Amino acid sequence: MKAASTTPWEGREGREAGGLAGDGSWDGSWVDDVLLAGPGADTCLVFDAPVTRNELRRLVRERQAELAAAGLRAGGTAALSLAPSLALVADLLAGWRSGAQVALLDHRLTPYETGRALERLAAQVVVTAEPVGPGPARGYHDQHPVARPRPGGLPTRTPHALVQLSSGSTGPAKIIGRTAADLVAEIGRYARIDGVPRAGERIVSMASMVHVLGLVGGLLHSLAAGVRLAFPARAGAEGILATVAAGPEPTTLLGVPFHIELLSWVAQPPRLPQLTGMTTGGELVRARVHEAFTDRYGVRLGSMYGMTEVGVIATDLFGEHRPEVTPAPGIAVREAGGELLIATERSPYIGFDDPARWSDGWLHTRDGGSVDPGTGRVRVLGRLDSQVSVGGLKVDLTEVEHTLAELPDVSAAVVVFGSSVEAYAVLHAPDARARVEAGLAERLAPYKRPRLLHVVDELPRTATGKLVRDLAVLRAAATATPAPPPDRPPAG
């Protein structure tokens, strides 16, 4: 096991480091002090070519000037809608270095979804690039960002540096804010977790940089700790393994269970002496997949449990306590009524006050679980709401169901999850199916759309009139056909 180590900036006095005020607000200098510090000639990122720290600093300054030309100032707001790329890294750091609040939008959202998000965020500056074209899945793209002022945008009204949207599990997506102090504190937690890559090592990341695992566990931790962060050009198993083989440093893979399954399907992996293990976020890896991966590659497979609202919560990076995880340094977890609660000083939600989600210093995770009173380790038992994981991406079935039910051709709808997202709908007209599918394509990102759309005459309901969500009952309703009439007796 690796001993925990500290980064050069950790010795500073708490929130005074990097221009952080007592309320967690920022002046932008924390980017230089925490994320861009270190020897300039060292490679910090690898896309299609290595990027040194000096090159990244130069690019961040250039992008900061472009953002300023578009009207971004300290205390302003920007929204980035970029694919994984060097451009995304540079614009994110440039926005923070400007002292602005930066919102991250997944580039896979439809224009409809992006437009609705921008209306809620009221960003002053929006950064976009050309759409990602069809072709084999890639781990990163060559993006040419353009920053444009957005009419009607508003300056920030909160001290948050980072803004993200939740999946919308209880109606509209919630706006989640994290201050620079929150992010610096989480980076510090990573530095104290046994098994996290250290200076001189390498991470090959398949996790999206617009979500918390890839953003903090990959990008921010790597920049702060002097870890080389590489992204596979091709997102398939061969491309991932080729990226591992391209460097000699001790290497940890960072991804989600979907990537573990991809890698486990490789019949004869190449010899990779530099591969030391893999860390996965998201749902618990199935036992069969876990065993297939560790047997095939002969390295550790660890897990992280976290949330967009607070980042990393608990880990088991050596797979020693599976399926339990140990709370990260400084994180307090308790169980109440079968739900896991996390101690937080304040609500992470912007413009949303719901005691059912945060109250009295405790964040309600909506995850079922338990805490061992002897060891303090946490067992996560799964979501208490409708959120599921599709290919490593979170999909909220309530959001999909509401979107489907709101289409003008739909009378009623139920969305459930079997081997994929499945929808059952009653339509106003028999020829409306194509219009319904087109409406979903306009309103939902591809990974959210139902893989199966069943048109039924009637949805099963309980005796009290509630829609039945049992998958077997719904499938029976979809396959049922009227019984044929009995044969007529012979004439005469």
Ordered structural domains, the chain, with CATH: 8-324+344-350 (3.40.50.12780), 387-479 (3.30.300.30)
Amino acid at 96: W
In three-state secondary structure terms, 171 is coil
How many CA atoms are closer than 13 Å to the CA of 49, on its beta-carbon side? 5
CA distance 165 to 117: 8
What is the model's pLDDT at position 97? Answer: 97
| Residue 280, number of CB atoms within 10 A of its CB | 26
Helical H segments across 166-268, by residue range:
180-191, 212, 221-225, 237-245, 257-264
How many CA atoms are closer than 13 Å to the CA of 487, on its beta-carbon side? 3
pTM metric for this prediction: 0.82
What is the model's pLDDT at position 282? Answer: 74
What is the model's pLDDT at position 14? Answer: 40
Phi, psi of 225 (to 5 degrees): -95, -5
What is the model's pLDDT at position 25? Answer: 60
Pairing between β-strand 358-359 and β-strand 421-427 as defined by DSSP bridges: unpaired
What is the model's pLDDT at position 481? Answer: 36
Radius of gyration, CA atoms only, the chain = 24
Q: Which residues of the chain have pLDDT under 50?
A: 1-17, 168-171, 463-465, 481-492
Instruction: Give the dihedral sign, CA 485/486/491/492.
Output: negative
Q: What strands, in cross-sheet order, belong to the sheet with 162-165?
A: 146-149, 125-128, 77-81, 101-104, 162-165, 175-178, 349-350
User: Are 451 and 421 in contact, with CB atoms under 8 Å apart?
Assistant: yes
Phi, psi of 411 (to 5 degrees): -90, -40
In three-state secondary structure terms, 115 is helix
What is the model's pLDDT at position 382? Answer: 73
CA 318 to chain centre: 22
Burial of 468 (0-12, 13-18, 19+ CB in 10 A): middle
What is the model's pLDDT at position 285? Answer: 79
User: Are 107 and 81 in contact, with CB atoms under 8 Å apart?
Assistant: yes
Amino acid at 416: V
Phi, psi of 345 (to 5 degrees): -65, -35
In three-state secondary structure terms, 330 is coil
